[in-house]
Amino acid sequence: MLHEILHKELLGRSVVRLVVAGASFSPAEDLVRSGVSRRRIGLEELNRIKDMIVRSDHVFYYIGAFAATGWEDDSRRALAGPNYLIALSDVHEGAWRTYYSPDPRWRSAARIFDLTSEEEKVDSIRRWVTRHTFELLMDELTEDTVFEELGYAIPIVREAFELIASEDRYVRFDTSTRPYRLVRVYG
């Protein structure tokens, strides 16, 4: 999927100034050989597709990259360049997550590639917290940890933390230190 946004000067011709593109990744070779694959998509494959889409230094590109099998950690190194931004989407913990580089050029454009509603994100965070009680017991269940794992924006993580703390008398949402965290309350 590729959509070019044109700009026309008063007496000039139309030129492409912005491209919004989406690409879907799957380990096709594995699928053909064995009928199934759980191989995550790596940096090399992401760069190959990015280089096919990003063709001009005079155009800015927003690229959404979708992978049903997930992304290798090294893929996050290629999310921003001088004239492009990439959003990585995959399914994690039963919900779509989208990871963006913390780059101000995203502004509201990041929502284009966000496949999950706020309610689904809060539910996903709640499920993740219930599966990570060790971090909670060790006071390491921070907003940054959840952001790194699920890719959800910090305000959504805070909303989920507030909800979890309001529903469980043994959990408190600690905002006295940064990063904010959920902590276990004893007694």
pLDDT tops 70 at residue 1 = no
pLDDT band at 164 (very low <50, low <70, confident <90, very high): very high
pLDDT tops 80 at residue 187 = no
Average pLDDT over residues 82-90: 93
Task: Sketch out the chain's domains with CATH numbers.
Answer: 1-115 (no CATH), 117-187 (1.10.10)
What is this structure's pTM?
Answer: 0.74
Helical spans, DSSP H, in the chain:
28-34, 43-53, 118-130, 133-137, 143-150, 154-167
pLDDT tops 90 at residue 168 = yes
**Residue whose entry in the numeric block shows the structure tokens 């408190």:** 172
pLDDT tops 80 at residue 125 = yes
Per residue in 73-83, pLDDT (tens digit) is: 899 888 999 99
Lowest mean pLDDT among 1-10, 114-123, 125-134: 1-10
pLDDT tops 90 at residue 153 = no
3-state secondary structure of 76: helix
Give the Å distances, CA to CA, from 149 to 22, 47, 93, 124.
Answer: 23, 22, 10, 11
Contact criterion met (CB below 8 Å) for 164 and 171: yes
Average pLDDT over residues 7-35: 79
DSSP assignments along 37-60, one per residue = --PPB-HHHHHHHHHHH---TTSE
Chain mean pLDDT for the chain:
87
CA 126 to CA 41: how far, in whole Å?
27
